[in-house]
Each structure stands twice: as structure tokens, then as C-alpha cells.
Amino acid sequence: MRRYFRRKLLVYGLTFFVAVTVNWMIPRFMPGDPVASMVARANMTQPQAVAAMRAYYNDLFGFDQPLWQQYLSFWGALLRGDFGLSIWLFPTPVGTVIADAVPYTLALVVPSVLLSWVVGNWFGAYAARRRVLDNTVLPIGYILTATPYMWLAVLLAWGLGVVAGLFPVAGGYSFSMQPTWSWAFLLDLLHHWALPFLSLFLVALGGWAIGMRNMIIYELESDYANYLSALGAPSRLIRRYAFRNAVLPQITGLALQLGVIVAGALVTEIVFAYPGLGSLILKAIQNSDFFLLQGTFLFIVLGVLIANFIIDIVYVVVDPRTRAGMAGADA
């Protein structure tokens, strides 16, 4: 058991290291000069002032140092929890900018991932036993799961937002409101949250339902199910066993899908101009904001890694076979 987790932690540590390195590299090899754009924003005409400002910024952000030194100091700052200053929102620290956006993304991703997983599994298992439902749910599920997130998002925004006028199509809350802990504001938040949530939820739902439906059919034809029916066990018991065993691969699937879902959430946020990490990434790219981009990526990588680790632990708890495998590895 301990060995299993040690190995897992090592793999996650390595992934983290590589992710941070790639994360550091990408913005530096991206076209565009962030300092030039900041200097340009200052609207200065005197060349001396421009040069002085350029030197000031280069010094501030450490762009005048050799690359390896930038890399090392990047790690150093990272370990101190210092993500640097945002260029786009200069001089707000990147940490603050991200902390403002993270609640929106979490509020979008966590419920849509968990709810779509639970509802999808339940629905798929149900469809596997009803022919009529199976014949309708399956095609719909395939269409949903094949739909790109942003496309469904655009459809929903157009249908439910623009045409039907039921939901706002942009923003995290109304422009007329200030974030406060009031019922009116929370309701407004929920109102803006509904459409992005729905588009994420629906796309993921189709995939889970199809996966579960296939797994349940497979499990119901397995030897243990046949044996139980030969002994006259009620189908309730057999279905319970089948559901439990069919859920296991779905948990693995959740771990595999997590990255995709997060990426989908980012795109969806952009469609709905939702003030989460996705919109932040877009802004960071548009403004050549290295530090913000790095900070956001890092946060997403960290989030996906942590979620995967949690799923690993859950899997060990629910599937005795992984535990048996570990006992074998220890021996």
C-alpha cells in the first residue's frame, strides 16, 4: 500500500516538474514583447523615457538575466508562493488575480463534473435495462458526447439566452451589481452560472451514460450474474452487483477525462465571458502576460494532478482488486 502511494507520488512529482518547466518555456518562446506593449501603453514620446521605462521593467521582471537564471529564479519564486506581478493588471500580483477567478471556475467545473458523472451513470444503467429508453438515449448520448463544448455553449447561448431570453449570455454577474453576500446577488450569480454549467454538464453526461450502459450490459452477461440467476437470486441483487462493478471503470474514466473537461470548461468560459481561469488565459495571451499565463496554467495543472490523486485513492478504497495487486507487489 505504502509502496503504491510512494510510486504514485513520484509519478505525480515528475509530472509536476515537467509541467512547470514546459509552463515556463511556452510564454518565453511565444511571439510578442510584453515590455514593449506595456511601454506603448504609457504613451510616451521621449526616447529617453522609453528606454528608462524599458530598463525598469526588464529589471523588474528579470528579463535581462540569462535564461537559466530566469528558470532557477522562477522555481525559487514558485516555492515561495510568489507567482510574480501581472503585466496586464500591473501591479496586481498574479496570485491575487488567480484567486479572484478560481471560485468561478471551480463553481463551474466541480458541479458539472460530479453531477454529470453521477447522473450519467445512473441514466446509463437505467437505459441498459429498457429497450425503448436504450434506443433513444444512446443516439442522443452519442450526439451530446461528440459535440464540442463551445459549440453546444454557443447553441445554448443563442437558444436559451438570445432567442428565449431566459438566461444572460455573458459575465459572472450583472454589470449593475456589486459582489456582496446578499440573496439578490447570489441569485444573480446562479442565473449567470446556469448556461455555462448546462453546456459542460450535457456534453459530459452523454459520454458517461454511454459508457455506463455498455458496462452494465457487459456485467449482466458475466459469469457471476449468470450463476446468481441460475440460483434464483432476484434481479435486484444482480443489478446491484453489476452496477457496482461497472462503476469502477467509470472512475478510471473520470480520472482520464478530467483534463479534457477542464479544457472544455476554459473554452466554455470564453464563450460566456465567464470571469474564471479560461477568460483569464485568453486575456493573458492577448496581453502577452507571461506571469499570469504561467500562474494560471500552473494552477490548472496542480488542480488536475490533485484531482487525479484523489481518484487514485478512491479507486483503492472501492476496488479490492487494486488492493490485492498491491499486496502482490509488496510480497
Partner 1 sequence: MSLQVSDLRVHYRTLKGDVRALDGVSFDLADGEILGLVGESGCGKSTLGKALIRMDGRMRRTGGTVALDGEELPIDDDRRMNDFRFRRVSLIPQYAMSALNPTRKIRRLVAELLRSRGAAVDPAELESRMAHVGLPPAVLDRYPIELSGGMRQRMVMVISTLLDPSLLIADEVTSALDVSTQKAVARALLGFRDSGYVKSMIFITHDLALTHHIADTIMVMYAGRLAEKAPADVIVKAPRHPYTRLLLDSLPEVGVRYADRRLDGIAGSPPSLLDPPAGCRFRDRCPLAGEECGEDPPVTELAPDHHVACWKA
Q: Does 7 bind partner 1 (CB under 8 A)?
A: no
For partner 1, the binding residue among 226, 260, 286, 302 (CB under 8 A) is 226
Q: Does 236 bind partner 1 (CB under 8 A)?
A: yes
Cell of 290: 507571461
Specify the residue, 185 or 218, whose C-beta has the smaller distance to partner 1: 218
Alpha carbon separation from 82 to 73, 297, 302 (Å, rounded): 10, 15, 15
Q: Does 244 bind partner 1 (CB under 8 A)?
A: yes
How far apart are the C-alpha atoms of 300 and 311, rounded to whole Å?
A: 16
Nearest distance from residue 233's CB to partner 1, in Å? 5
Which part of the chain contacts partner 1 (CB under 8 A), choosing from 11-19, 97-105, 241-249, 306-314?
Answer: 241-249
- Cα 74 to its chain centre, rounded Å, is 24
Size of the site for partner 1 (CB under 8 A): 22
Alpha carbon separation from 239 to 129, 130, 177, 245, 325 (Å, rounded): 10, 13, 50, 10, 26
Q: Does 237 bind partner 1 (CB under 8 A)?
A: yes
Closest CA to 216 of 281, 279, 133: 133
For partner 1, the binding residue among 18, 166, 227, 306 (CB under 8 A) is 227
Give the other-Cβ count within 10 Å of 312's Cβ.
20
Nearest distance from residue 245's CB to partner 1, in Å? 6
Which part of the chain contacts partner 1 (CB under 8 A), choosing from 10-18, 197-205, 240-248, 271-279?
Answer: 240-248
Which part of the chain contacts partner 1 (CB under 8 A), choosing from 67-75, 85-93, 175-183, 229-237?
Answer: 229-237
Q: Does 223 bind partner 1 (CB under 8 A)?
A: yes
288 phi, psi to nearest 5 deg: 50, 45
Q: Does 17 bind partner 1 (CB under 8 A)?
A: no
Q: Does 79 bind partner 1 (CB under 8 A)?
A: no
31 phi, psi to nearest 5 deg: -70, 155
Cell of 231: 440460483
242 phi, psi to nearest 5 deg: -60, -45
Q: Does 217 bind partner 1 (CB under 8 A)?
A: no
Taking CB under 8 A as the criterion, which residues in 294-323 touch partner 1? 319-321
Q: Which spans in the chain are helix H?
A: 2-28, 34-41, 47-61, 67-79, 94-127, 131-146, 149-156, 183-220, 223-230, 235-271, 277-286, 290-318, 320-330
Q: Does 56 bind partner 1 (CB under 8 A)?
A: no
Residue ranges that bind partner 1, judged by CB under 8 A: 222-224, 226-234, 236-237, 241, 244-245, 248, 319-321, 324
